[in-house]
Structure formats: structure tokens, C-alpha cells
Amino acid sequence: MQINRGRDSIIDIEYIAQLQDSFSRATGLYVYCLDSAGVPVTDTSGPKEDVERLVEYIPPERVADIFYRLTQSNLEDQVIEDTEIPNIKFGLTTVRVNGQALLTWVAIGVLTDYDIEGYTEAPEEGFSRTVT
């Protein structure tokens, strides 16, 4: 099932983006949405400078790998992944309709409470949004 864009769309992407922005502000997460093919349908919610920094630690190729693992499985609807940075984690969760992945949300959290054991990289500071 593909998301049609334009007048024939069954999903109002602008409305989805507004909900996403509100969710992002309320939770302190950086969030964006992918369609059933893994193509972003919304921009990442959050300050632009922060988003640009986060892409360094979570490249699109890594998100694509996790997206395909998640959407091709009937066993998982969500995945949480570590990064090389101890205080940055990301997760994907998929919305399915009739067993088919329709939308997948990518959420990135910059943690204030984290363990550095086992990490070789230092925590990253200076983000405007954080979560515990």
C-alpha cells in the first residue's frame, strides 16, 4: 500500500506533520515519518541545527537497514537501537494496515540519563531537546 500525495491522498501528510511536531515538542524527541517504501514524507521535527548534528550519528543508510528489517518482519513493529554515542538512541515503529507497513516513525532521543560503559565515544551535549 503506497501513500498517494496530492488530492487523492488517503492520508493528510500536512496534518501528520503537525501532529508529529506537537508530539516532538511534548516528548523532547526528534521525529520523522517514512512511507511504505522508506521514503521520508515529513521533515524531522526539531531545531534544524540539532537535526543536522544527529544525521552525523544516525545516517540515512542505517535507518534504511533498520526500516527494511522492521517492515519485512511480521514479528516486530518497533525497534530501538543504540548508536556509537552513549546518550543518543533511535527507534522505529511501524503502523500496519492489513499486515502491510503503511507508515514508519523514526524517533531519536538525546538522553540525560545514560551509561558510558562499553562506549568509546564521548556523550554529545548542547542539544535543545533531551529525554530521561
CATH number assigned to the domain comprising residue 40: 3.30.450.30
Give the mean pLDDT of 99-116.
93
Domain contains 87: yes
pLDDT tier at 77 (50, 70, 90 boundaries)?
A: confident
Check if the beta carbon of residue 29 is closer than 8 Å to that of residue 129. Answer: yes
98 lies in some domain: yes
Determine how β-strand 30-34 pairs with β-strand 100-110: antiparallel
Instruction: Supply the pLDDT for residue 45.
Output: 96
How many CB atoms neighbour CB 16 within 10 A? 16
| Domain containing residue 44 | 13-110
Q: Report which of 111, 114, 115 is spatially closest to residue 127, judged by C-alpha positions.
A: 111
Residue pointed to by grid coordinates 500536512: 14
Q: Based on the structure, what is the number of domains in the chain? A: 1
* Residues 6 or more apart in contact with residue 13 via CB below 8 angstroms: 3, 5, 41, 42
Q: Which of 23-37, 41-55, 62-76, 111-125 has the lowest mean pLDDT?
A: 62-76
4 part of a folded domain: no
Any domain includes 119: no
Cβ(94)–Cβ(104) under 8 Å?
yes
Lowest mean pLDDT among 27-31, 69-73, 78-82, 126-130: 69-73
Residue pair 16/8 in contact by the 8 Å Cβ criterion: no
